[in-house]
Amino acid sequence: VYLVGAGPGDPELMTVRGATLLARADVVIYDRLIAHSLLDLAPPSAERIDVGKRPGRPTRQSEINALLVEHGGLGHEVVRLKGGDPFLFGRGGEEAEALRAAGIPYEVVPGVTSAFAAPAAAGIPVTHRGLAADFAVVSGHRDPERAEAGWNWAELAVGPATLVLLMGMDNLAEITAELIRHGRPADTPAAVIQSATLPGQRVLRAPLGGLAARSGAAGLTAPAVVVIGAVAALGAEPVPS
Ligand SMILES: C[S@@+](CC[C@H](N)C(=O)[O-])C[C@H]1O[C@@H](n2cnc3c(N)ncnc32)[C@H](O)[C@@H]1O
Protein backbone atom coordinates (compact mmCIF):
# COMPACT_ATOMS: atom_id res chain seq x y z
CA VAL A 1 0.00 0.00 0.00
CA TYR A 2 1.38 3.38 -0.99
CA LEU A 3 0.30 6.48 0.92
CA VAL A 4 0.81 9.04 -1.82
CA GLY A 5 0.67 12.83 -1.56
CA ALA A 6 -1.26 14.23 -4.52
CA GLY A 7 0.03 17.78 -4.02
CA PRO A 8 -1.93 20.94 -3.33
CA GLY A 9 -4.34 20.97 -6.28
CA ASP A 10 -2.65 21.43 -9.64
CA PRO A 11 -2.15 17.84 -10.87
CA GLU A 12 1.28 18.78 -12.23
CA LEU A 13 2.46 19.17 -8.64
CA MET A 14 2.28 15.48 -7.75
CA THR A 15 5.67 13.75 -7.54
CA VAL A 16 7.07 11.54 -10.32
CA ARG A 17 7.10 8.66 -7.82
CA GLY A 18 3.39 9.16 -7.18
CA ALA A 19 2.62 9.16 -10.92
CA THR A 20 4.71 6.01 -11.45
CA LEU A 21 2.83 4.17 -8.71
CA LEU A 22 -0.55 5.34 -9.95
CA ALA A 23 0.25 4.03 -13.44
CA ARG A 24 0.51 0.48 -12.10
CA ALA A 25 -2.10 0.56 -9.32
CA ASP A 26 -4.74 -2.15 -8.95
CA VAL A 27 -6.78 0.00 -6.57
CA VAL A 28 -6.87 3.78 -6.01
CA ILE A 29 -8.47 5.02 -2.79
CA TYR A 30 -8.75 8.79 -2.99
CA ASP A 31 -9.81 11.88 -1.06
CA ARG A 32 -12.09 14.77 -1.93
CA LEU A 33 -9.49 17.50 -2.49
CA ILE A 34 -7.34 15.66 -5.04
CA ALA A 35 -7.34 16.63 -8.72
CA HIS A 36 -9.60 14.07 -10.37
CA SER A 37 -7.55 14.14 -13.57
CA LEU A 38 -4.90 12.25 -11.58
CA LEU A 39 -7.21 9.25 -11.55
CA ASP A 40 -6.73 9.03 -15.34
CA LEU A 41 -3.10 8.07 -14.69
CA ALA A 42 -4.25 4.75 -13.23
CA PRO A 43 -4.90 1.82 -15.59
CA PRO A 44 -8.51 1.70 -16.85
CA SER A 45 -8.91 -1.63 -15.06
CA ALA A 46 -7.95 -0.18 -11.66
CA GLU A 47 -10.69 0.00 -9.07
CA ARG A 48 -11.31 3.59 -7.99
CA ILE A 49 -12.76 4.13 -4.53
CA ASP A 50 -13.89 7.60 -3.40
CA VAL A 51 -13.57 7.95 0.38
CA GLY A 52 -13.82 11.75 0.44
CA LYS A 53 -15.27 13.03 3.67
CA ARG A 54 -18.00 15.52 2.96
CA PRO A 55 -21.03 16.89 4.82
CA GLY A 56 -23.86 14.37 4.80
CA ARG A 57 -21.63 11.55 3.61
CA PRO A 58 -18.96 11.04 6.18
CA THR A 59 -16.55 8.16 5.73
CA ARG A 60 -15.15 7.09 9.04
CA GLN A 61 -11.38 6.91 9.32
CA SER A 62 -11.73 3.37 10.68
CA GLU A 63 -13.53 2.36 7.48
CA ILE A 64 -10.74 3.83 5.35
CA ASN A 65 -8.14 2.00 7.42
CA ALA A 66 -10.11 -1.23 7.01
CA LEU A 67 -10.29 -0.76 3.22
CA LEU A 68 -6.52 -0.27 3.03
CA VAL A 69 -5.88 -3.37 5.13
CA GLU A 70 -8.41 -5.39 3.12
CA HIS A 71 -6.99 -4.54 -0.31
CA GLY A 72 -3.39 -4.64 0.88
CA GLY A 73 -4.06 -8.05 2.44
CA LEU A 74 -5.32 -9.34 -0.91
CA GLY A 75 -1.93 -8.49 -2.41
CA HIS A 76 -3.28 -5.62 -4.53
CA GLU A 77 -1.05 -2.66 -5.33
CA VAL A 78 -3.01 0.05 -3.58
CA VAL A 79 -2.45 3.78 -4.02
CA ARG A 80 -3.99 5.78 -1.22
CA LEU A 81 -4.09 9.23 -2.79
CA LYS A 82 -4.26 12.08 -0.30
CA GLY A 83 -4.27 15.86 -0.74
CA GLY A 84 -1.00 17.71 -0.21
CA ASP A 85 1.37 15.65 1.93
CA PRO A 86 -0.08 12.50 3.50
CA PHE A 87 1.47 13.20 6.89
CA LEU A 88 0.40 16.82 7.33
CA PHE A 89 -3.10 17.03 8.85
CA GLY A 90 -4.08 14.20 6.56
CA ARG A 91 -4.44 11.33 9.04
CA GLY A 92 -1.83 9.47 7.02
CA GLY A 93 -0.10 8.60 10.28
CA GLU A 94 -3.17 6.68 11.42
CA GLU A 95 -3.38 4.84 8.12
CA ALA A 96 0.29 3.88 8.39
CA GLU A 97 -0.29 2.63 11.95
CA ALA A 98 -3.24 0.50 10.84
CA LEU A 99 -1.16 -1.05 8.04
CA ARG A 100 1.77 -1.68 10.35
CA ALA A 101 -0.51 -3.31 12.92
CA ALA A 102 -1.95 -5.58 10.22
CA GLY A 103 1.50 -6.50 8.93
CA ILE A 104 0.85 -5.00 5.47
CA PRO A 105 3.93 -3.52 3.79
CA TYR A 106 3.54 0.16 2.96
CA GLU A 107 5.50 3.13 1.69
CA VAL A 108 4.87 6.81 2.25
CA VAL A 109 5.36 9.02 -0.81
CA PRO A 110 5.59 12.62 0.38
CA GLY A 111 3.63 15.29 -1.40
CA VAL A 112 3.87 19.03 -1.96
CA THR A 113 1.91 20.37 0.98
CA SER A 114 -0.51 23.26 0.69
CA ALA A 115 1.20 24.67 3.79
CA PHE A 116 4.08 25.78 1.56
CA ALA A 117 2.54 25.59 -1.91
CA ALA A 118 -0.31 27.99 -1.16
CA PRO A 119 1.96 30.76 0.17
CA ALA A 120 4.36 30.08 -2.71
CA ALA A 121 1.53 30.38 -5.24
CA ALA A 122 0.95 33.89 -3.88
CA GLY A 123 4.67 34.70 -4.02
CA ILE A 124 5.08 34.38 -0.25
CA PRO A 125 8.14 32.53 1.11
CA VAL A 126 7.50 31.11 4.61
CA THR A 127 11.06 32.01 5.60
CA HIS A 128 13.03 34.95 4.31
CA ARG A 129 16.46 36.21 5.27
CA GLY A 130 16.05 39.09 7.68
CA LEU A 131 12.28 38.68 8.03
CA ALA A 132 11.48 35.17 9.23
CA ALA A 133 13.83 32.43 10.38
CA ASP A 134 11.14 30.08 11.65
CA PHE A 135 7.51 29.17 11.10
CA ALA A 136 4.74 27.05 12.56
CA VAL A 137 2.03 25.20 10.69
CA VAL A 138 -1.14 25.28 12.75
CA SER A 139 -4.53 23.64 12.38
CA GLY A 140 -7.36 26.15 12.77
CA HIS A 141 -9.76 23.39 13.60
CA ARG A 142 -9.73 21.73 17.00
CA ASP A 143 -11.80 18.82 18.19
CA PRO A 144 -12.95 19.80 21.69
CA GLU A 145 -13.33 16.12 22.61
CA ARG A 146 -9.67 15.38 22.02
CA ALA A 147 -6.83 15.62 24.46
CA GLU A 148 -4.86 18.05 22.31
CA ALA A 149 -7.80 20.48 22.24
CA GLY A 150 -6.99 24.16 22.52
CA TRP A 151 -4.26 26.34 21.12
CA ASN A 152 -1.28 27.70 22.96
CA TRP A 153 -2.01 31.31 21.99
CA ALA A 154 0.71 32.78 24.18
CA GLU A 155 3.33 30.75 22.33
CA LEU A 156 1.84 31.10 18.85
CA ALA A 157 1.35 34.84 19.14
CA VAL A 158 4.95 35.73 19.88
CA GLY A 159 6.90 32.58 18.97
CA PRO A 160 7.37 31.62 15.31
CA ALA A 161 7.94 34.54 12.93
CA THR A 162 5.53 33.07 10.37
CA LEU A 163 2.28 31.26 11.13
CA VAL A 164 0.71 29.11 8.43
CA LEU A 165 -2.86 28.22 9.25
CA LEU A 166 -4.70 25.33 7.62
CA MET A 167 -8.42 24.66 8.08
CA GLY A 168 -8.64 28.10 9.64
CA MET A 169 -11.52 29.78 7.81
CA ASP A 170 -14.35 28.82 10.19
CA ASN A 171 -12.51 30.16 13.23
CA LEU A 172 -10.60 32.99 11.56
CA ALA A 173 -12.15 35.81 13.62
CA GLU A 174 -11.42 34.02 16.90
CA ILE A 175 -7.91 32.99 15.88
CA THR A 176 -6.84 36.45 14.71
CA ALA A 177 -8.36 38.08 17.81
CA GLU A 178 -6.56 35.68 20.16
CA LEU A 179 -3.23 36.22 18.41
CA ILE A 180 -3.59 39.98 18.79
CA ARG A 181 -4.74 39.64 22.39
CA HIS A 182 -1.61 37.60 23.16
CA GLY A 183 0.81 40.06 21.58
CA ARG A 184 0.96 39.70 17.78
CA PRO A 185 0.57 43.29 16.49
CA ALA A 186 -2.71 44.01 14.70
CA ASP A 187 -0.79 45.53 11.79
CA THR A 188 1.14 42.29 11.11
CA PRO A 189 0.88 41.51 7.38
CA ALA A 190 -1.38 38.53 6.63
CA ALA A 191 -2.81 36.81 3.59
CA VAL A 192 -5.49 34.27 2.69
CA ILE A 193 -4.88 32.02 -0.31
CA GLN A 194 -7.96 30.13 -1.45
CA SER A 195 -7.86 27.22 -3.92
CA ALA A 196 -4.12 27.63 -4.33
CA THR A 197 -2.54 26.38 -7.58
CA LEU A 198 -6.02 25.82 -9.05
CA PRO A 199 -7.69 27.91 -11.77
CA GLY A 200 -9.94 29.55 -9.15
CA GLN A 201 -7.07 30.68 -6.92
CA ARG A 202 -7.79 33.85 -4.96
CA VAL A 203 -5.41 35.83 -2.76
CA LEU A 204 -6.35 38.47 -0.23
CA ARG A 205 -3.86 40.48 1.80
CA ALA A 206 -4.80 42.48 4.87
CA PRO A 207 -3.30 43.37 8.24
CA LEU A 208 -4.03 40.73 10.89
CA GLY A 209 -6.55 42.99 12.64
CA GLY A 210 -8.74 43.29 9.56
CA LEU A 211 -8.15 39.90 7.99
CA ALA A 212 -11.28 38.06 9.16
CA ALA A 213 -13.64 40.90 8.22
CA ARG A 214 -11.98 41.48 4.86
CA SER A 215 -11.93 37.82 3.93
CA GLY A 216 -15.56 37.43 5.03
CA ALA A 217 -16.57 40.43 2.92
CA ALA A 218 -14.67 38.99 -0.06
CA GLY A 219 -16.47 35.66 0.36
CA LEU A 220 -13.30 33.62 0.79
CA THR A 221 -13.94 30.07 1.98
CA ALA A 222 -12.18 26.74 2.42
CA PRO A 223 -9.94 25.34 1.15
CA ALA A 224 -7.66 28.17 2.11
CA VAL A 225 -4.31 28.71 3.76
CA VAL A 226 -3.70 31.76 5.94
CA VAL A 227 -0.21 33.21 6.32
CA ILE A 228 0.56 35.60 9.17
CA GLY A 229 3.87 37.41 9.53
CA ALA A 230 6.13 39.91 7.80
CA VAL A 231 6.61 37.54 4.84
CA ALA A 232 2.92 37.91 3.96
CA ALA A 233 3.73 41.35 2.56
CA LEU A 234 6.12 39.83 0.01
CA GLY A 235 5.12 38.84 -3.47
CA ALA A 236 2.36 41.41 -3.75
CA GLU A 237 1.85 43.20 -7.04
CA PRO A 238 4.21 46.17 -7.20
CA VAL A 239 2.39 49.34 -6.32
CA PRO A 240 2.80 51.98 -9.06
CA SER A 241 4.58 55.02 -7.61
C1 LIG B 1 -7.26 18.20 6.05
S2 LIG B 1 -6.11 19.44 5.59
C3 LIG B 1 -5.05 18.48 4.56
C4 LIG B 1 -3.74 19.13 4.25
C5 LIG B 1 -2.89 18.37 3.25
N6 LIG B 1 -2.46 17.11 3.79
C7 LIG B 1 -1.68 19.17 2.79
O8 LIG B 1 -0.54 18.78 3.06
O9 LIG B 1 -1.89 20.18 2.11
C10 LIG B 1 -7.06 20.40 4.45
C11 LIG B 1 -6.65 21.86 4.46
O12 LIG B 1 -5.51 22.05 3.64
C13 LIG B 1 -5.55 23.33 3.05
N14 LIG B 1 -5.57 23.18 1.59
C15 LIG B 1 -5.49 22.03 0.90
N16 LIG B 1 -5.46 22.28 -0.43
C17 LIG B 1 -5.51 23.63 -0.58
C18 LIG B 1 -5.49 24.51 -1.70
N19 LIG B 1 -5.39 24.07 -2.96
N20 LIG B 1 -5.55 25.85 -1.46
C21 LIG B 1 -5.60 26.33 -0.21
N22 LIG B 1 -5.63 25.54 0.87
C23 LIG B 1 -5.57 24.20 0.71
C24 LIG B 1 -6.81 24.01 3.57
O25 LIG B 1 -6.45 24.74 4.73
C26 LIG B 1 -7.67 22.82 3.89
O27 LIG B 1 -8.66 23.14 4.84
Mean pLDDT of the chain: 94
Q: Which residue's C-alpha comes closest to atom 10 of ligand 1?
A: 167
For residue 121 and ligand 1, the question of a CB distance below 6 A is answered with: no
Out of 64, 82, 114, 203, mutate this one to test ligand 1's pocket (max ligand atoms within 8 Å of CB): namely: 114
Compute the average pLDDT of residues 50-72.
86
pLDDT at 239: 56
Task: Report how far ligand 1's centroid is from the alpha carbon of 224 (Å).
Answer: 7
- Cβ(118) – ligand 1 distance below 6 Å: yes
Q: Using 50, 70 and 90 to split pLDDT, how confident is the model at 146?
A: low
User: Does ligand 1 come within 6 angstroms of the Cβ of 223?
Assistant: yes
Share of the chain above pLDDT 90, in %: 87
Which band of pLDDT confidence, cut at 50, 70 and 90, is reported for residue 210? very high
- Residues 130-159 have a mean pLDDT of 87
* Ligand 1 close to Cβ of residue 114 (< 6 A): yes
Q: Which atom of ligand 1 lies closest to the CA of 193?
A: 21
Distance 33 CA to ligand 1 centre (A): 8
Tell me how far the alpha carbon of residue 21 lies from the centroid of ligand 1, in angstroms. 22
Which residue's CA is minimally distant from atom 22 of ligand 1?
224
Rounded Cα distance between 214 and 210, Å, is 6
Give distance in angstroms: CA of 172 to centre of ligand 1.
15
pTM (global) more than 0.85 = yes
